[in-house]
Amino acid sequence: MSTDIQQAVDLLRQGELVALPTETVYGLGADAANPAAVAKIFTAKGRPADHPLIVHIPDASHLERWACDIPAEAHALAKAFWPGALTLILKRQPQVPDAVTGGQDTVGLRVPNHPVALALLRAFDGGIAAPSANRFGRISPTTAQHVRDDLGDAVSLILDGGPCQVGIESTIVDLSGKRAMLLRPGMISAIDIGKVLGRVPLSPDDPLAPPAVRASGTLEAHYAPRTPLVLMPDDSLPIALRNAIVQQERIAVLATHPAPFEMPQVIWQVAPADPSGYAHELYANLRALDALGCDRIYVQKPVGQPWQAIYDRLKRAAAGSGAFV
Ligand code: TXA
Ligand code: MG
């Protein structure tokens, strides 16, 4: 075992925090069976204590340690997508600390697909509770440097596993109710899930969804840059930019194509035109554009089903940034 992994295991056993790479985003990890350790996550992130955390496990054989009444659908999805960017919400075992579940009767579980995370989980041989390793409401980290920038001294050790391959958070599917429900879209799509389950999961705003779940689907101020971020249909961008230039505003743009005309006043970042490539670079792009201190960031509004998860993150970033439109 590498010395880094051994050190990380020792720290987790002592109730300390360890930041770990996953294929989605970096996580801020603690021993999920130790409520005092889990409490440190909330302090470090500045996160409200009633927000539940995802428990990362080394493989699907650990499901029964954390969940009960596990439906066949959970085993089917685990078989199809684990290790991978899918979190399952299941009825919890009674001994799962309230600090992890936010006092709910369910627990979120995931086997991440990253060699460093898997090596750590296997060596630890337990559950690691880990939200994204950013301060509450800020942009999720996809490199070790992002974690250092956000949390610095608040974490005992940062395992550096390079840039996260997927780049946005896992898909969350709730299997604790009568019908599978998509709580958070991700790069594993509702259609991918539907192919395994035989029907697509409900979305929380579906008229068939139970009312309580629908209410919790309201837009959170999340993934937020400090610069006001505005989502722009591609054909509205040129006129919006001309107006901004007339007003002498400094604008940064994130789009999947180069600028249509010469604009020295505008900082233009070209993003990959495919959803996987775009997601991989999304948070690094948002962090870099945010750091420029422009008056606004205009992001070309993505259109179509393959862009659903990216659109979800951008919508939240726009809402959280306090920009109108
Ligand atoms: O890709 C990911 O999922 C990353 C990496 C580190 O695994 N983690 C992540 O964690 O995004 P976090 O805490 O930033 O987001 C976890 C989401 C929250 O929106 C939380 O409400 C939801 O999971 N969640 C966790 N447990 C839940 C539960 N029992 N019921 C409903 N939602 C739950
Ligand atoms: Mg998060």
CATH 3.90.870.10 intervals, the chain: 3-197
Helix runs in 91-208, H state only: 98-101, 115-124, 144-151, 190-197
Cα-to-centroid distance, 66 and ligand 1 (Å): 15
Please report the pLDDT score of residue 221 as a whole number: 57
Give the C-alpha distances (Å, rounded to integers) separating 146 from 24, 79, 103, 132. 14, 32, 30, 11
Cα-to-centroid distance, 261 and ligand 2 (Å): 37
Closest Cα to atom 24 of ligand 1:
52
Paired tokens of 213: 């779940």
Q: Tell me, which fold does domain 229-320 have in CATH?
A: Rossmann fold (3.40.50)
| pTM of the predicted model as reported, rounded to 2 decimal places | 0.95
Please report the pLDDT score of residue 215 as a whole number: 42
Q: What is the b/e burial string over 6-31, where b = at least 16 CB atoms within 10 angstroms of the residue's CB?
A: eebbebbeeebbbbbbbbbbbbbbbb
The pLDDT tens digits along the chain (325 residues) read 788 999 999 999 999 999 999 999 999 999 999 999 999 999 999 888 888 999 999 999 999 999 999 999 999 999 999 999 999 999 999 999 999 999 999 999 999 999 999 999 999 999 999 999 999 888 999 999 999 999 988 999 999 999 999 999 999 999 999 999 999 999 999 999 999 999 999 988 888 777 665 443 344 556 789 999 999 999 999 999 999 999 999 999 999 999 988 888 899 999 999 999 999 999 999 999 999 999 999 999 999 999 999 999 999 999 988 775 4
- Domain at 3-197: CATH code: 3.90.870.10
Please report the pLDDT score of residue 207 as a whole number: 80
How far apart are alpha carbons 160 and 145 in whole angstroms?
Answer: 9
Beta bridge partners of 297: 229, 252
Ligand 1, CB within 6 Å, residue ranges = 22, 24-25, 27, 51-54, 87, 89, 101, 104, 106-108, 110, 112, 130-132, 169-170, 172, 183
Please report the pLDDT score of residue 214 as a whole number: 44
Q: In what order do the strands lie in the sheet with 229-232?
A: 229-232, 296-300, 251-255, 266-270
Give the C-alpha distances (Å, rounded to integers) separating 304 from 66, 254, 312. 36, 18, 12
Q: Which atom of ligand 1 is nearest to the CA of 106?
A: 29
CATH 3.40.50 intervals, the chain: 229-320
